[in-house]
Structure 1
């Protein structure tokens, strides 16, 4: 898959695969990928953090790579609370009391939720595209037509045709999203083949489809996560030191001129819009991502 050593960590619901860099005694940093990406997004970041003495953990999210569900009966949920609970469970299993978190897309959502609901577990947060919590009760409200157009893939996943399309063409489909979401990135063709094998996970399609249906209230979530989902309907603020990285050329969620998320952050907060960068922030802009992490770690 990547040629890197992959470790396994068993939690209540998953056996989570992760890559680790740096000394065991280093200050922990957890780097979280999104959909449809992989830990390869941090190839130019994790080794440099490790070289400065940090303990860097890069997990494969549920439905990706070697990560597996422990029980065949467990709902293959992709809801936001599941991603956050996986992160908490991983931290507990690895005896990480507090970490600096970095994530974008799905991984950014997990990081933002843990930062919002469990701030004592988070030293600092680098978030792709700001406040990444879904406002599910208001998801039924239509957005402006241009934004709706960019979300075409989500509506596709709401249909049986979309499920079959992802099953039959997962690599081609995800490669198309890479191109659409990072339209000005010249390395997409070179880098995509490094992540594509992680989508062959047997749970990938089920987790993805559930994620994009749950956020629009078209399917029920995992009952064990309902209490967390209720808390998230209140759109809790994030109080930990945070830096938001936004891609100016993001093809699915371009950065607005005005920061619409600032009100959700009550502690130190800074927004950095990255020129020439699309949706795959850490892989397209490793230097800027590393700088944001070090700014928080050394704050």
Structure 2
């Protein structure tokens, strides 16, 4: 069997906090597009999307998020925060390090959240936004409100990671935990075990467990945020509106986040926004439906007046 393709070669760049590992393709003077992966996934979520966008003349940048792949903290004393503000500030600092004044940000899950935050708080740096599952900025004050029981069941790992048993489980079964989440998130996606192996290689990062645990503990109101992100989190508590041109996507086969019409969060997008349903796609939408995701990026470029 042919091994799954990889995004290579990787590059490294230093930000204030991280040594970021990333893939880049396309012309250096192309329209910048940053593709942001989720948890528990990696940059290969965009293994088809990235080269297609490069062929369309985009400068495509695909970073490993903190705690993943070869992205490393520069200082042992830096808190291994996984909170939403940290992920968004990482994106902003990556743009600074690469001397990219503004870019389209496109992502899902953790990456979609980082993109939404950057678009809401620093719209001058964000040309446009593509977000799977709509508005993803967490309302941490509302974290105690229960969802429907069937939806709560799909979020089992949120509660598992609150415990020290969950810490040990994630430490010892990184690939196994991811596999269970993948199957629940995308029940119609029959993935090759080698594809999971490729992603799981990114979980060997020494900071992976701490970053993941903090992400879920913070969003559930069970862990304090890092002091460096206090002001950003305070701004996010107000659920700021997104004003930049936006395309949102929902997969009709997302096992944890049922597809919606775009109406429930419409008031949080005050700029141009289009919403599309992607038939048969699960939560790992850029990988499962790369044509739809690529088209969404090109659509938001057109909305921003940057079509080729």
TM value normalised by structure 2: 0.94
Residue 257 of structure 1: CA displacement?
5.3
What pairs up with 1:76-95 in 2 under 5 angstroms? 76-95=80-99
Alignment correspondent of 1:99: 103
Q: How does 1:1-299 map to 2 (within 5 A)?
A: 2=6, 4-256=8-260, 259-299=263-303
Deviation at 1:263, TM superposition (A): 1.2
Query: d(CA) in 1 for partners of 2:102 and 2:59?
Result: 12
Supply the distance in 1 between the matched residues of 2:175 and 2:197 (Cα, whole angstroms).
9
Q: CA deviation at 1:190?
A: 4.7
Cα deviations by residue, 1:143-195 (Å, 9 ceiling, x for unpaired): 22222112111100001101100001111111111111111012353522221
> Distance between the aligned counterparts of 1:97 and 1:258, measured in 2?
30
- The whole-number CA distance in structure 1 between the counterparts of 2:262 and 2:130 is 19
CA apart distance, 1:256: 3.4
Deviations 1:9-28 (A, max 9, x none): 11111101100001111110
Question: In the aligned structure 1, how far is the partner of 2:24 from the partner of 2:71?
Answer: 15
Q: TM-score, normalised by structure 1?
A: 0.97
> Residues of 1 paired with 2:198 and 2:179: CA distance?
11
Q: Call closer, same or farther: CA 1:245–1:190 in 2, change over 3 Å.
A: farther
Secondary structure (helix, strand or coil) at the match of 1:161 reads helix
DSSP 3-state at the match of 1:273: strand
Q: Deviations over 1:176-215 (max 9, x none)?
A: 1111111101235352222110011111110000000001
Counterpart of 2:306 in structure 1 is none
2:8 & 2:118 partners in 1: Cα distance?
A: 27
8 Å CA contact 1:179, 1:188 repeated in 2: no
Q: List alignment gaps of at least 5 residues for structure 1.
A: none
Q: Is the 8 A contact 2:244 2:272 kept in 1?
A: yes
Cα deviation code 1:75-99 (max 9, x no counterpart) = 1000000000000000001011110
Q: How many residues align?
A: 299
Q: What is the SS of the residue equivalent to 1:163? A: helix
Is the 2:250–2:260 Cα contact (8 Å) retained in structure 1? no
| Distance in 2 separating the partners of 1:186 and 1:164 | 28
Deviations 1:211-249 (A, max 9, x none): 000011111111010000000000000000101111111
* Structure 2 residues not aligned, in runs of 5+: 304-308
Rounded Cα–Cα distance in structure 1 between residues aligned with 2:7 and 2:107: 23
1:99-145 alpha-carbon deviations (Å, 9 max, x no partner): 01101000000000000001111111100100010000111122222
